[in-house]
């Protein structure tokens, strides 16, 4: 099971996405790729930062269609087990002098609670979390 971080989903949504990312995605078993509600929130925030108009609406429509078709039944939520892991991760990282953002901490906690690897460009952001991290931008 692999949880896709926001930067991977964002890359896939580009008109000309990274060849290495798309090649990596193509080599994966699609049923093993998941997205989190945290990533969805980040994407929806980015979409809503665009001014109202046709472009914003088309991006939102495309994202909604992708979520419904490509990730149906493969959306992971920040739940009670993840909240316990989140507290541990955030405390450990703070003690190491490497505090994490709230959203990255939630994404890491979801991945750990589901025994999933995390695919992200931001390898350093998830160091010292006892989490398998994959960088599809360099694979």
Residues paired with residue 35 on neighbouring β-strands, in sequence order: 75
* pTM score over 0.85: yes
Q: pLDDT value at position 63?
A: 87
d(C-alpha 9, C-alpha 13), whole Å: 6
pLDDT at 75 over 80: yes
pLDDT at 139 over 80: no
Q: What are the structure tokens assigned to 97, written together?
A: 């002098």
Strand, helix or coil at 48?
helix
Query: Is the CA virtual torsion 33, 37, 38, 39 positive or negative?
Result: positive
Phi and psi at residue 137, to the nearest 5°? -80, -20
Phi and psi at residue 85, to the nearest 5°? -65, -40
Q: What is the pLDDT of residues 35-71, one digit of tens each?
A: 999 999 999 999 999 889 898 898 888 888 888 888 9
CA separation, residue 119 to residues 35, 56, 59 (Å): 10, 26, 23
4 falls in which pLDDT band (50, 70, 90)?
A: very high
Q: Which residue has the higher pLDDT, 62 or 80?
A: 80
Q: pLDDT value at position 55?
A: 85
Q: pLDDT value at position 64?
A: 86
Q: What are the structure tokens assigned to 105, written together?
A: 């901490």
72 falls in which pLDDT band (50, 70, 90)?
A: confident
Domains of the chain: residue spans and CATH:
2-134 (3.40.50.1010)
Selection from 87, 92, 104 nearest residue 128 by Cα: 92
């Amino acid at each position: 099971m692999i949880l896709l971080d926001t930067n991977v989903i964002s890359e896939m949504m580009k008109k000309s996405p990274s060849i290495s990312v798309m090649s990596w995605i193509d080599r994966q078993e699609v049923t093993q790729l998941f997205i989190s509600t945290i990533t969805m929130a980040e994407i929806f925030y980015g979409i809503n930062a665009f001014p109202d108009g046709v472009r914003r609406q088309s991006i939102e429509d495309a994202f909604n269609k992708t979520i419904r078709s490509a990730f149906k039944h493969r959306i992971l939520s920040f739940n009670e087990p993840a909240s316990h892991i989140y507290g541990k991760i955030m405390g450990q990282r703070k003690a190491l002098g490497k505090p994490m953002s709230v959203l990255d901490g939630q994404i890491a906690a979801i991945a750990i609670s589901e025994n999933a690897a995390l695919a992200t460009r931001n390898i350093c952001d998830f160091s010292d979390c006892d989490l398998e991290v994959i960088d599809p931008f360099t694979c």
